[in-house]
Amino acid sequence: MTDFIDLQPVSHVQGTVRLPGSKSISNRILLLSALSQGQVAIVDLLASDDTAVMLAALRSLGVQWTEEKTATGTIHHVTGVAGVLPNKSADLFMGNAGTAIRPLTAALAVIGGDYTLHGVPRMHERPIGDLVDALNAAGTNVEYTGNPGFPPLHIKQGKITTQRLSVRGDVSSQFLTALLMVAPLMAKDHAITIDVIGELISKPYIEITLNLIRRFGVKVGQNGWASFTIEPGQVYQSPGTIHVEGDASSASYFLAAGAIGGGPVRVEGVGNNSIQGDVRFAAALEQMGAHITMGDNWIEARANGPLKAIDADFNHIPDAAMTIAVAALYADRPSTLRNIASWRVKETDRIAAMATELRKVGATVEEGPDYIKVTPPATLAPATIDTYDDHRMAMCFSLVSLDGALRKGAATRINDPKCVNKTFPDYFTAFANIAK
C-alpha cells in the first residue's frame, strides 16, 4: 500500500462484509490460552499487527503455538503453560498494542522473572502507571526505564503479599482487565479482591474480560462494578476450541456507511449473541435515524432519510464512538459526544486529532477535555486526512467519501492507509466492495 489512498466520491453503498476477528477478544484469548492447562484451538483469530505482537511475545516466553490453515479460515493451536512460563527472561517489543502490553505486564509481574517491555514512541506516551502501582502495592517488582508512569518497563522477581488490590477505573479499563486476568495466578492460597477506585469507564470491555475468564473455567465474584473477588485454588482450563467473534468496532464503519450512503449494508460476525459492547453502536445509529435490523450473527443498516443529530454519553463505546463523530457530518444539526476522556490516551489524542481532521472537511468543532461537538458543514470540502498512525482515524474518515453530491466530485485522500494493519489489514478492499 502506498503512502496515501484516494477515495473517489461514492453515491451509494450496498453489500455484505465478513468482519475480521475482534482485537480485544483475540489478545485476551491468546493470553488466557497461554496461561491455561491443556491445548486450546482458537478459530478465526484476528490477523493484524496487534495480535502478531502478542503471538511473538508468547513465543519469546516459551509458549508453543502453531497456525493451521483450513478451507474456511485459520486455527491457532496454543499449548498452555499452566501459569509457569518456560523462559524466565525476555526482551519484548509490544508495538502500540495496549491490549497486549497491559495484561502481559500484569502476568509477567505476578509470575516473576527478568523481562523488559517496550514499544513504538507513542506506546511510551500511553499511561500504565495505575496498573504498575496496583501491582507493586501487591508485592510485584516493576520498574520504569523511561518516564515514570509509562513504558518501557523492567520486570523483576517479586512476591505477592496482599489479599486486596485497588486500581483506578477512570483512565483505561485495560488496567482492571489486566488485574482480573492474572488474579487467579495470585489467588493460590487465599482469595484476591480487586477494588475499583472512582468511576469505571468502558464497562462493556470488562464484560468481555469476565466472559472469557469464565469460559476458561475461573469463577469471578462481583460486587456490581465496585469490586471483584477470585477465590483461591482456581486454575485456567482449556475450553478446547474457542471462536473469536467478528470485531464490533470495525462493524461501525460499514453500518455507518449504510446509514449515510443508502445501503443496505450487512456485517457478518456480530449480532444479538455478541459479547462485545460495541454492538450498541447500532442503537446510536438508530437514534440518528438509521434503519437497523439484527440477527444472531449479523447486523444490517440502511438509510431512512437524512441523519439526525445526537447528543449522548459514549463512555460505554469509546472506540465505535469515533465513527459517530464522522457520521455527525451528515446530520441535520450539531451533535455532541460526551464522556470520552479516554480518547486522549489512545493510539493518539483522538479528541484533538478528530477535531483537526473534521475541520479540514468544513465542520465547526468544539473540543473539551471529555467531549467533542460537531457542527456539519453545508458542503464537505475536499481534504487530505492525516491519520496519526491510528487505524481508527483512517477507517472513520473513509466515510467522508460518501454522498457524491456533497463532495462536489473531489476525492478524499487518506494519508498512511497502512495504519489499518493494526486491526483490519483488508479494510480499504472491503470498503471498496460496498462502494458503488
| Catalytic center residues | 319
CB contact set of 46 (below 8 Å; sequence gap of 6+): 20, 21, 22, 23, 26, 244, 247, 423
For CA atoms 278, 197, 130, 216, give the dihedral sign: negative
> Grid coordinates in use for 345?
490516551
> What is the Cα–Cα distance from 386 to 393, expressed in whole angstroms?
8
Measured in degrees and rounded to the nearest 5, phi and psi for residue 127 equal: -65, 140
Q: Are residues 331 and 310 in contact, defined by beta-carbon separation less than 8 angstroms?
A: yes
Q: Are residues 268 and 17 in contact, defined by beta-carbon separation less than 8 angstroms?
A: yes
Q: What are the angstrom distances between the C-alpha of 191 and each of 164, 212, 224?
A: 8, 20, 18
> What is the Cα–Cα distance from 259 to 246, expressed in whole angstroms?
20
Q: Are residues 241 and 41 in contact, defined by beta-carbon separation less than 8 angstroms?
A: yes
At 428 the three-state DSSP class reads helix
- The CA-to-CA distance between both ends of the chain, in Å, stands at 22
Pairing verdict, β 298-302 and 262-268: antiparallel
> Grid coordinates in use for 240?
478446547
Measured in degrees and rounded to the nearest 5, phi and psi for residue 254 equal: -75, -35
3-state secondary structure 339-372: CCHHHHHCCCCHHHHHHHHHHHCCCEEEECCCEE
Q: Which amino acid is at 225?
A: W
Q: Are residues 296 and 180 in contact, defined by beta-carbon separation less than 8 angstroms?
A: no
**Strand (E) positions, 181-284?**
192-197, 221-223, 227-230, 241-243, 262-268
